[in-house]
Amino acid sequence: MNLSSRLNSILGMIDSHYEHIWDCCCDHGYLGQAVLQAKPEAKVHFLDVVESITSKLKQHLTSSDYSNERWQVHCKDLQQLRLPLPENATNIQHRHLLIIAGVGGDLTLDMVQAVLQNNPDCDIDFLLCPVRQLHKVRCGAKAFGLGLVNEKIVKDGGRYYEAIHLSTLSEDDIPVVGGSMWDLAKDDHQEYLRQNISHYQRMQAQGNASARKVLAEYMSLQELLA
């Protein structure tokens, strides 16, 4: 299957062992199917709230070569998800990775918050790749007590994304404008930084009170280029 560079980069960031990997908001399920192929040790969960999407996907997976013990399709609102605890276990350590990609930043944050609230006894990793509002997502995730594992800038179809791997077990700070993902020797990264700066300059000019502080944070990255 030919994955987009966005989904391929997300796949490449799954570098630990997980027993359960969730393609949340899976839609077409391309990412989950690539995970099925790349991570034979994991059970892959496909979750979407739209029934027509999940029933079509279930039909497709049933006719595939993958054993039905390797995958499960869930028609569910992610905000209602309760992760199953194995018998006699009180905590699932590092066994669930939830990937949430391709939805807006506000919804991504609502989902992460709900998952954390509904599963207080689980250690959970998230791989987030929201559409827009990256600064807000990073600040929110920090406030929920998550820590950084890894981060990457991804360019796909002329558009930039950030893939952010977070964990309830990590104590590493989440930089609100990104940290290790930046390689400002790269033209692409310079362009992405310029786009962020222009965006917050426009917001500041429109009288957005919080834009000034965010702009200063992005500008401080640009100073590294000077």
Ligand X SMILES: C[S@@+](CC[C@H](N)C(=O)[O-])C[C@H]1O[C@@H](n2cnc3c(N)ncnc32)[C@H](O)[C@@H]1O
What does the binding site for ligand X look like in residue numbers (CB under 6 A)? Answer: 25-27, 47-50, 53, 77-79, 101-103
Find the shortest distance in angstroms from Cβ 131 to ligand X: 8
CA dist 221 → 77, 100, 148, 151, 159 (Å) = 38, 27, 19, 16, 20
CA dist 62 → 42, 69, 73, 189, 206 (Å) = 18, 11, 10, 42, 52
Q: What are phi and psi of 212, to 5 degrees?
A: -60, -45
User: Residue 103 or residue 177: which is nearer to ligand X going by CB?
Assistant: 103
Find the shortest distance in angstroms from Cβ 52 to ligand X: 10
Find the shortest distance in angstroms from Cβ 47 to ligand X: 6
User: Residue 101 or residue 148: which is nearer to ligand X going by CB?
Assistant: 101
β-bridge partners, 74? 47
- Using CB positions, name the residue nearest to ligand X: 102
User: Residue 45 or residue 95: which is nearer to ligand X going by CB?
Assistant: 45
User: Residue 84 or residue 179: which is nearer to ligand X going by CB?
Assistant: 84
User: Residue 21 or residue 53: which is nearer to ligand X going by CB?
Assistant: 53
Closest CA to 162 of 171, 144, 143, 141: 141
186 φ/ψ sector (left φ>0, alpha ψ -120 to 50, else beta): beta
Find the shortest distance in angstroms from Cβ 130 to ligand X: 10
Find the shortest distance in angstroms from Cβ 44 to ligand X: 13
DSSP H/E element including 52: helix 51-62
End-to-end CA distance of the chain: 42
User: Residue 101 or residue 149: which is nearer to ligand X going by CB?
Assistant: 101
Q: For residue 180, give both structure tokens.
A: 């290790």
Find the shortest distance in angstroms from Cβ 124 to ligand X: 16
